[in-house]
């Protein structure tokens, strides 16, 4: 599956880290470590892309990958 690049933002929270894509706010997840959060965010993106394609919804366009605190 060919994916665009998106801007990831990870924020420290009580239980670990929360990750979200700036251009696609529906893609959000949590992980107990920063690395786990990154992995979960990639998985959440892939699953959201699949769901959007299945529903024939338009996938938001990403830009060059920039990680803010992620």
Pair 19, 40: CB distance under 8 Å: yes
pTM over 0.85: no
Q: Which fold has domain 8-61?
A: Double Stranded RNA Binding Domain (3.30.160)
3-state SS assignment for residue 28: strand
- The DSSP output letter for 16 is E
Q: What is the pLDDT of residues 7-44, one digit of tens each?
A: 899 999 999 999 999 999 999 999 999 999 999 999 99
Cβ contact 15:32 at 8 Å: yes
What digits encode the pLDDT tens for the residues 1-16? 445 788 899 999 999 9
Domain boundaries, the chain: 8-61
**42 token code pair:** 């990639």
Q: Are 44 and 28 in contact (CB under 8 A)?
A: yes
Q: How confident is the model at residue 64 (pLDDT cuts 50, 70, 90)?
A: low
Q: What are phi and psi of 58, to 5 degrees?
A: -75, 130
């Amino acid at each position: 599956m060919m994916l665009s690049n998106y801007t990831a933002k990870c924020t420290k929270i009580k239980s670990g880290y929360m990750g979200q894509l700036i251009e696609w706010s529906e893609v959000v997840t949590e992980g107990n470590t920063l690395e786990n959060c990154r992995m979960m965010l990639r998985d959440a993106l892939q699953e959201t892309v699949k769901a959007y394609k299945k529903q024939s919804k338009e996938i938001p366009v990403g830009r060059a990958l920039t990680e803010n605190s992620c």
